[in-house]
Chain A
Amino acid sequence: MNLDFSFFTLNIISNFIIKGLLFSIKLTLVTLVCGLIIGTMIAMMRLSKFKILNYPALGYVVLIRSLPFVMVILWVFILIPLVIGKSIGSENSAYITYIVFESAFYSEIMRSGIQSVKKEQMQAGYAVGLTYFQSMRYIILPQAFRNMLPVILTQTIVLFQDTSLVYAIGAYDLLKGFEIVSKNFNRPVEAYLIAAVVYFIICFSLSYGVKLTQRKVQIAK
């Protein structure tokens, strides 16, 4: 078999690959931020002393974790137009699905993060006159987040890899860029080989970054 990479020029990169890469990154970042915020709220519900808040949060997490991701991606894409009467496009559909899905995972991370902070810290917050939400906001959550940072980043690397699952609904992500190139030049082996290298470089350097923060977190403790 002869491998020929000559088709893969700067022009190709800027026309087909960058667009996909940007969407993959945007989907990852938007999901990270929204997922962390919603996930933190779910975690607080699960740990609340008010039992009525515990069960919906638990139900959400258990439900999401029991469903195949690709199925949910497809399902939301099909369902939303049926409900609201018009299509919102595959990209918006992806944002919604990823946020809904990843919130459940980030909530589990933030839950163990909150539990990793000694309960006396909450008392110390109350003792200086902070309310429950102020103590959470200024004392517990920053420590929970810091303790969990390596885990959050690791989850986010997996999330970046999982953005490729939007192929199911035809959104234009990094992988899709390579798919189009492979078809245009009829060079699938080479195109997907390059795709693998690109994913590897991005994820490997991110995990290396995680290792560094891990060391920092350890020292800060």
Chain B
Amino acid sequence: MIEFKNVSKWYGNFQVLNNCTFSIQKGDVVVICGPSGSGKSTLVKTINALESIQQGEIIVDGIKLNDPQTNLPQLRARVGMVFQNFELFPHLNVIENLTLAQIKVLGRSKDQAITYGLKYLERVGLLSQKDKFPGQLSGGQQQRVAIARALSMDPIIMLFDEPTSALDPEMVGEVLDVIVKLAKEGMTMCVITHEMSFAKNLSKRVIFMDEGKIVEDCSKDKFFGNPDLLSARAKEFLSKILRNN
């Protein structure tokens, strides 16, 4: 469903993505990890063309992203994205956050959009908060609203960029639960995370990035179970992060 072929990207002289090739099939749950600054966020943001690329090719659901004919807003509408800092729209209340793009982009009627919105708010357990403003919610609640906002667009894939790293520790669990539930229901997703126990739980597949390169793209069992088979960089990263946890 998603194809990356030899994708490279530069910021000036600095190469953020170096010849990345991988694919994601329908139903896949892929965890992306790697040291900070290794290009994980950039990689994920190229999937919905929030970041452009200079070399290579990205195909999402049969549509070439670098083709000037591609209607990027329509494509992005079908790719759900959850940010590290939630990025809810602070001037809109919860239900308006969920309905804005449904109405403006998908062309749903207001009633229809509200029905969808309430359905997904219920899924993340926040139906009772529908009239509150983002500023009145805890971090964990805001991130669950952000997930519901993405889901109410009926995405073909969900992208998560460190969805819990801005949260207080006691709120991490409620957000991870929602994501695990989604994965169990068969949602295709790509999750950047440093929560290794969550990663083990969630996915069958791990991509490890370092300095803009995809260094490992392997099964979870190999990544966590067989460190001797991994590259030196991945081993070092794993031992560091497991020690910290």
Residues of A at the B interface (CB closer than 8 Å) are 118, 120-121, 123-124, 126-131, 134, 138-139, 142-143, 146, 220-221
Contact = CB atoms under 8 A, between A and B. Distances in A.
Nearest to A145: B91
A134 B103 CA distance: 12
B153 A129 contact: yes
A124 B83 contact: yes
Interface in B49-107: 50, 73-79, 81, 83, 85, 87-91, 100-101, 104-106
A130 B97 CA distance: 13
A126 B78 CA distance: 11
Nearest to B149: A128
A146 B153 CA distance: 28
Nearest to B49: A126
B104 A138 contact: yes
Is the contact region of chain A dominated by helix, strand, or loop, or is it mixed?
Answer: helix
Contact of B76 (A126, A142, A220, A221): A126
A121 B50 contact: no
B203 interface: no
A126 B73 contact: yes
| Residue in A120, A128, A138, A142 with the greatest tally of chain B CB atoms within 10 Å | A128
A142 B81 contact: no
Given A123-B50, A138-B104, 20 more contacts: A120-B87, A123-B45, A123-B83, A124-B87, A124-B89, A126-B48, A127-B48, A127-B50, A127-B79, A127-B81, A127-B83, A128-B150, A128-B153, A129-B78, A129-B101, A129-B106, A130-B100, A130-B105, A143-B91, A220-B135
Given A120-B83, A146-B91, A134 B104 contact: yes
A128 B76 contact: yes
B108 to A, nearest CB: 12
A129 B90 contact: no
Contacts of B105: 128-130, 134
Interface residues of B, number: 27
A76 to B, nearest CB: 37
6 A-B pairs closest in CB distance:
A129-B77, A128-B101, A124-B87, A129-B105, A127-B81, A129-B76
Nearest to A220: B135
Contacts, number: 65
Interface of B: 45, 48, 50, 73-79, 81, 83, 85, 87-91, 100-101, 104-106, 135, 149-150, 153
B73 A129 contact: yes
Contact of A139 (B48, B73, B75, B89): B89
B73 A130 contact: yes
Contacts of B149: 128
Given A126-B50, A128-B149, A129-B77, A142 B91 contact: yes
A175 B86 CA distance: 53
A128 B87 CA distance: 11
